[in-house]
Amino acid sequence: MTHRIAILGGGTGGTVLANDLAERLAPEIDAGDVEVALINDDPDHVYKPVWLYVAFGQREPADGRRPLDELVDDRVDLVIDRVTEIDTDDESLALRDAGGPLAYDHLVVATGSTLAADEVPGLAEGSHDYYSESGALALRDELLSMTEGHLVLSVVGTPHMCPAAPLEFVFMADDWLRERGLREDVDITYTYPINRVHGNPHIAEWAKPIMTDRDIGVETFFNADSVDPDAETLTSMEGTEIDYDLLAAIPPHRGVDVVEAAGLGDRGWVDVDKHTLAAERAEDVYALGDAATTGVPKAGSVAHYQAGVVARRLASEVRGRPATATYDGKTLCFIETGTDAASFVEFDYESPPSPAPPSEKLHWSKLAYNESYWLTARGLL
């Protein structure tokens, strides 16, 4: 029998997985015993970390885009189409453009995150973000025209992609405004939903003194409930109101609707066993990256490592052996602390993060990885 593996989503997790399987199962694919299909509704692969730099005019959106067909191994059947329904009983996917359903024996959901600013009244109209190409470009224009006033970074939605990025934004904004001689005329405030500046206490304890040293205002226990774009105010469910001149917000995130409609989990996230990454509500389904609810950050490194685990598990299943590979929560993040320095954290389910002292070397390491990311997408790094 032919094992048909369908990977839904051509982001970091899906693309790394497709290329891993293409190499790992090359003999089986060449013999016609395994088929690997990667389905994505955009012909391009998008590397989202570039957008933080776009907001400060340091990169362009095109730097984060490459055609999927240049990244994916020829052994993978690349399907540019949109999945409109996942039927986990029938083990098939309905596609928007294709003539008929696509049947699978193994499904991997790697559908990532989407933004849902409309869940908070006024947020879409009154704020900017750097979690999308269009948002980063619009924010860049606003930042370039800002010469005075109050810049507010508000973490509104949780969980969200790249939990370090809000800290990076205010650190970079501080440096960027100082370099341009504008910092004394622009106040910066950072708001966070809980009683410290980051969800992880180790990262929060590291970041808070840096914010104090650099005169970045902090408002904790702040969960934005509404934005008044005309009055330029942001109000929290805890009853605090903040005036802003430019609001950069991390909007609420969701998964994708077809995942929720398939009953795989709430808000488009797939409920999974956090070690095996197997879906808890359906057979023969895995999920990875942002789409999987594992409790670790929605970050590219997570998707990358999880792809390796799922690839090994699928290879075992295809070969009729028990699947033993498991995910240990491994996460790596570089954290920019300005425009010329960065820190680095590594942690897993058992070991907490311990941020490295910021250095120029780590900053260049992050930039170098951003360049070499395309080797990761190809399954080479």
| Phi-psi label, residue 350: left if phi above 0, alpha if psi -120 to 50, beta otherwise | alpha
**Shortest Å, Cβ 334 to other proteins:** 14
CA–chain centroid gap for 181, Å, is 33
Residue with Cβ nearer other proteins (199 or 217): 199
Q: List 275's β-bridge partners, or say none.
A: none
Residue with Cβ nearer other proteins (104 or 171): 171
Residue with Cβ nearer other proteins (18 or 161): 161
Is the Cβ–Cβ distance between 153 and 248 less than 8 Å?
Answer: yes
**Shortest Å, Cβ 332 to other proteins:** 12
Residue with Cβ nearer other proteins (12 or 200): 200
**Shortest Å, Cβ 80 to other proteins:** 32
**Shortest Å, Cβ 123 to other proteins:** 12
Residues 6+ away with beta carbon under 8 Å from 209: none
**Shortest Å, Cβ 251 to other proteins:** 11
**Shortest Å, Cβ 352 to other proteins:** 7
Residue with Cβ nearer other proteins (268 or 379): 268
Alpha helices per DSSP H over the chain: 12-24, 26-30, 50-55, 68-71, 123-126, 133-145, 165-179, 201-213, 257-261, 300-318, 360-377
Residue with Cβ nearer other proteins (172 or 335): 335
Contacts with other proteins, residue ranges (CB under 8 A): 119, 157-159, 163, 193-195, 198-201, 203, 221, 223, 237-238, 252, 266-267, 274, 294-297, 329, 331, 347-349, 352-353
**Shortest Å, Cβ 183 to other proteins:** 28
Coil, strand or helix: which one is 253?
strand
Residue with Cβ nearer other proteins (162 or 315): 162
Coil, strand or helix: which one is 150?
strand
Report the DSSP pairing between strands 92-95 and 102-103: antiparallel
Is the Cβ–Cβ distance between 246 and 140 less than 8 Å?
Answer: no
Q: List 79's β-bridge partners, or say none.
A: 39
